[in-house]
Amino acid sequence: MKITFFDTKDYDRAAFTKYDGRDGLEFKFYETKLCEDTVELAKNSDVVCVFVNDDLNSAVIEKLHAFGIKLIALRCAGYNNVDLAAAYGKIHVARVPAYSPYAVAEHAMALLLCSVRRIHKAYNRTKDFNFSLNGLTGFDLYGKTVGVIGTGKIGKAFIDICKGFGMNILAYDKYPAPMDHVRYTELDELFRESDIISLHCPLTSETAHMIDQESIARMKKGVIIINTSRGALINSEDLLNGIKERKIGAACLDVYEEESDLFFEDFSGHIVNDDTLARLITMPNVIVTSHQAFLTEEALSNIAEVTVKNILDYFGSNVLENEVCYHCGLLENCKKKRKERCF
């Protein structure tokens, strides 16, 4: 079973190498991202293993199918970068739904704490032996209202952390899962009442640009927005305008709408042409990390373990527990619900 990995870094190789050569698996790693220009590298493979910024559009899917690729193994939870409709009936798609919800939830809280207690500013000052406290006044999280959009495993983990800080918690999810000390509400009330808003939902046609000029206008003045989910949940230009108008008090971003050509790479010696990102980074109340929230030893180990299991399950004729397709959740007679493969 030949598996070709795209968009790999040293930490990916370290996590997966121990499985190479076991159970008939043969790995080949490429640093380049999978797209129409690089799809030829997948020839003579049985599986492609991809990450969040690989582009599996319909043209790429057709090429992979022509090469005889049997499985797209996502080493991530999100799958908005895969044309599932084009893949259906041709190539199975499996993901890692919950590699470490704690990693992402803890990073979201780390960003929030860094922002509200001005830790990033204090760190830079003390490097220059500037020990002044002027301009570093923060505020308590205790008693503040946090609005959590998306209460899957990561959202729930973030909520548990917020409970520990004594925060009041509002939540919104298309499929609510009642929890103690959490009040589900509609988005309009969540926007209106929250001091802090944290995004933990998938990117779909319904959620794309859910944070935009209109929703920002409904928020409290000084609201803090955290996004560790998908960049396109936020209209970046509208976010920037909200910051400039002093409506948004701070933004903590681990993802960015146009991150695919930037994140995970070193551009420190280059001029970055993305004016919106450049302006966001210059804002004193914006913290940007480059899709780092998942990056813990535990998460990398879990990602590798589940990805390999997905591959072995496929070739072992087992049920693909983590398979996704464009029918998922839409059909009453969904095969996955009957413990069958999607096609």
| pLDDT digit string, tens, across residues 285-323 | 999 999 999 999 999 999 999 999 999 999 997 789 999
What pLDDT is attached to residue 338?
A: 61
% of the chain exceeding 90 in pLDDT: 90
For the cut 60, the answer to whether the pLDDT of residue 329 exceeds it is no
| pLDDT tens-digit readout, 156-206 | 999 999 999 999 999 999 999 989 999 999 999 999 999 999 999 999 999
Query: Which residues are catalytically annotated?
Result: 230, 259, 291
Q: Which amino acid is at 328?
A: C
| pLDDT tens-digit readout, 99-155 | 889 999 999 999 999 999 999 999 999 999 999 999 999 999 999 999 999 999 999
- Give 254's pLDDT tier (boundaries 50, 70, 90): very high
C-alpha separations of 69 from 45, 72, 154 in Å: 6, 8, 32
Extended beta strands in 32-139, E state: 47-50, 71-74, 92-94
- Give 326's pLDDT tier (boundaries 50, 70, 90): confident
Q: In this structure, what are the phi and psi dihedrals at residue 148, rounded to the nearest 5 degrees?
A: -110, 115
Calculate ∠ Cα 208-244-119, nearest 5°.
Answer: 90
| pLDDT tens-digit readout, 65-99 | 999 999 999 999 889 999 999 999 999 999 998 88
What pLDDT is attached to residue 327?
A: 77
Nearest-angstrom CA–CA distance, 304 and 201: 23
Mean pLDDT value across the chain: 95
What pLDDT is attached to residue 155?
A: 97
Nearest-angstrom CA–CA distance, 343 and 339: 12
| pLDDT tens-digit readout, 264-288 | 999 998 999 999 999 999 999 999 9
The strand order across the sheet containing 248-253 reads 182-184, 168-172, 145-149, 196-199, 223-227, 248-253, 286-288
- Give 339's pLDDT tier (boundaries 50, 70, 90): confident
What pLDDT is attached to residue 195?
A: 98
Nearest-angstrom CA–CA distance, 40 and 238: 38
* Whether the Cβ atoms of residue 163 and residue 145 lie closer than 8 Å to each other: no
What pLDDT is attached to residue 340?
A: 79
Domains of the chain and CATH, by start? 2-99+297-338 (3.40.50.720), 101-288 (3.40.50.720)
Backbone dihedral region of 228: left (phi > 0), alpha (psi from -120 to 50 degrees) or beta?
alpha
